[in-house]
Amino acid sequence: MSDLDWKRPLDEVLGDDATARRQLAEHAQLLPIAKGGETVRFILGRLREHWVATLLTTLVTLGGAAAAAVLPRLIGAAVDVVAAGGGTSEDAWRLGAQILGVAVVQAVLSAVGWSMVSALGQRILAGMREEVIDRALDLPAQTMERSGIGDALSRVADDVDVAARAVNNLVPSLIQMGFYVMVTMVGMATLSPWLLILVVVVVPMYVVSALWYLRRTAPLYRRERIAMGARAQGLLSAIHGIPTVHAYGIERRETRHVAVLSETASVLNMRVMYLVGRLVLFINIPENLALLLVLVLGFVMVHVAGAPIGLVTAAAVYLVSLFWPMMAVIFNLDEVQSAVASVSRMVGVISSIDPAASPGDERPSDASIRLEGISHAYGTDEQGNERVVLQPIDLDIAPGEVVSLVGASGAGKSTLAAILAGTLLPRHGRVLHGGADLAHADIEAVRTHASIVSQDVHVFRGTLREDLRLAKPQATDEELWAALRRVDAATWAERLPGGLATEVGEKGERLTAEQSQQLALARISLRDPAVLVLDEATADEGSSGARVLERAALEVARGRTTIIVAHRLSQAMVADRILMMAGGRVVEQGTHEQLVALGGDYARLWEAWAG
């Protein structure tokens, strides 16, 4: 990375790194970001949910601010006693004790209020963190593939971290200072209406400075968070693709790509810091003007209006005590903006993505599947037209029937398989499992009813026993071994150092691709769904491994309604019915023998494959 110049245009920072430009553009419109009003309504709603804690916190914080506002009056009274010379030592001691007592009360209430605000904020934030993760896990696989995991990760990691720091350090301070400023202004007004001149002249200048700052930094913070999400995605892509990076010798290219994204985020942050410097210049004006006004107004009140010196002293203490809260609020606006940007991204995910709540209570009555006029499209092209991947399809699959989907890449096989499995809702039409419309069905019932195994199988970190029990938490070791034997996996599982207790996955025993697929099929055996979708689950294996997996898949599929996305036509031959797909349509269907005899697309495909 070159020497960082925060004045450089972002286009120049990005240079000719097309990947960085694309990721920034994508992250600007991936997972939703809540608007300001929506974020405020969300937080107020959460405060209402914790209304008892909110009320107690407000009362304690307000009590601390009120105690702090009483101190200038007591100090002014002490000055009058000393200036008048007519008071007794008992009066001075009494006022001193009162000042000390009020100061202790103010300190205690402020400390308790700080802890209560922080605790309330952490409870709300903890709930938000869980909801963001819950919504991210509920995202359709296609959405996560398009957005990339970086944006979701930055929201459940970076954004939560920023918000947590704000809740611990910033929010309690701002709330206490806000209450103190309001109570102090009320105290000044009740002390003498003339003091309102100070409020009317000085406070608007602070407000104008804050608004000037907010208008210019809000877009910068938003773009900075987007750049941080793109940077996270770039880092993850480079780390996950280390073998490919080494194979092609593109280490410098990937390093430069991540550096460009990092420099973009840094440039945006430094632009904010420049605005902070200008803000410091602005707020010096109302501060110095306030000091001048209190001296002039104090002289007039004492020597012209005959006001007590103690009143003017109290007014001066009020004013000086306002400087720090007002300045602290403004100086913390950059952190406020960053925290608000992070919370808005969290609220955007929570509010805009439907949770995994069942849309209805319909339950499948059998293992049949019916599609009624289903079609699907992903987004739009440059002309604003939908990218249609499935044309309208009607289809009936009988309980226990094995259906194979065949066709060239991009024919719509995987999309149709996901719709049949219930993991993807079509843009149009209805999907019925056992007579239950999935748009109005109980989600847990559907997930128990149908399962899908794809090419990409994830082995979770933990013991082999724990990984298998994801499908059936209460399964005994005997049931686990039976499932492994059913998919021809018991042999290699017995050779593991600890058997079922062997750590697998990340930082554990590394399983081969074939073993991972067998593990996934063993989970299916334990889960025992009525409908099984195999989305090219054996496509990437060599001939020997492919035969093992094909036997395992057919064994697990026996007795179930099964849909096979066939990569090799040997997989299609075993099906009761073959659907030949092209251009998002089912162009031919029938048994292997019928389609070969038909002499159409499937027959030509079979001839080419067999030859």
Q: What is the CATH number of the domain that holds 153?
A: 1.20.1560.10
- Give yes or no: residues 287 and 405 share one domain: no
Flag whether pLDDT at 29 surpasses 50: no
**What does the pLDDT look like over 558-579, one tens digit per residue?**
889 999 988 778 778 888 999 9
Asked, for residue 376, whether it belongs to a domain, the answer is: no
**What does the pLDDT look like over 594-608, one tens digit per residue?**
999 999 999 998 888
Q: Buried (b) or exposed (e) across 488-500, using 16+ Cβ within 10 A?
A: bbbeebeebeeeb
Q: Where is the domain boundary, 352, 385, 412? A: 352
Asked, for residue 370, whether it belongs to a domain, the answer is: no
Cβ atoms within 10 Å, residue 131 = 17
Asked, for residue 513, whether it belongs to a domain, the answer is: yes
- Give yes or no: residues 342 and 413 share one domain: no
Instruction: Name the residue among 556, 554, 551 with its Cα closest to residue 530.
Output: 556
pLDDT band at 392 (very low <50, low <70, confident <90, very high): very high
pLDDT at 385: 67
Out of 191-200, 257-266, 277-286, pick the least confident.
191-200
Phi, psi for residue 385 in degrees, rounded to 5:
-90, 145
- Give yes or no: residues 306 and 415 share one domain: no
- Give yes or no: residues 133 and 212 share one domain: yes
- Give yes or no: residues 170 and 82 share one domain: yes
Percent of the chain at pLDDT above 90?
A: 15
- pLDDT averaged over the chain? 79
Torsion angle defined by CA atoms of residues 65, 67, 68 and 69, in that order, rounded to the nearest 10 degrees? 90
The tokens for 202 are 């000085």
Burial (0-12, 13-18, 19+ Cβ within 10 Å), 593: exposed
Strands (E), 543-606: 561-565, 577-582, 585-590
Name 90's Cβ contacts closer than 8 Å, sequence gap at least 6. Answer: none
- What is the DSSP-derived secondary structure letter of residue 439? G
CATH number at residue 514: 3.40.50.300
- Give yes or no: residues 181 and 319 share one domain: yes
From residue 157, give the alpha-carbon distance in Å to each of 32, 269, 343, 474.
16, 19, 12, 32
Q: Where is the domain boundary, 319, 352, 385? A: 352
- Give yes or no: residues 344 and 411 share one domain: no
Spatial separation of the C-alpha atoms in residues 74 and 96, rounded to whole Å:
8
Asked, for residue 383, whether it belongs to a domain, the answer is: no
Cβ atoms within 10 Å, residue 543 = 7
Asked, for residue 324, whether it belongs to a domain, the answer is: yes
**What does the pLDDT look like over 178-196, one tens digit per residue?**
777 777 777 777 777 777 7
pLDDT at 579: 94
- Unique residue bearing structure tokens 């990339």: 148
Name 132's Cβ contacts closer than 8 Å, sequence gap at least 6. Answer: 155, 156, 160, 346, 349, 350
- Give yes or no: residues 337 and 407 share one domain: no
Asked, for residue 295, whether it belongs to a domain, the answer is: yes
Mean pLDDT computed over 450-458: 81
Count of structural domains within the chain: 2
- Give yes or no: residues 334 and 248 share one domain: yes
pLDDT at 27: 47
- Give yes or no: residues 153 and 83 share one domain: yes
**What does the pLDDT look like over 314-352, one tens digit per residue?**
777 777 777 777 777 776 766 777 788 788 878 877 776
- Give yes or no: residues 412 and 348 share one domain: no
The tokens for 349 are 């995910």
Spatial separation of the C-alpha atoms in residues 422 and 11, rounded to whole Å:
43
Phi, psi for residue 192 in degrees, rounded to 5:
-165, 125
Asked, for residue 395, whether it belongs to a domain, the answer is: no
Asked, for residue 76, whether it belongs to a domain, the answer is: yes
**Owning domain of residue 486:** 401-421+451-610
Q: Could you tell me how far CA 409 lies from the centroid of its own chain?
A: 33
CA end-to-end span of the chain = 54
pLDDT at 563: 92
Give the HSE-up count for residue 106: Cα atoms under 13 Å, Cβ half-sphere. Answer: 18
pLDDT at 4: 47
- Give yes or no: residues 36 and 93 share one domain: yes
pTM: 0.57
From residue 544, give the alpha-carbon distance in Å to each of 34, 56, 127, 493.
52, 69, 49, 19
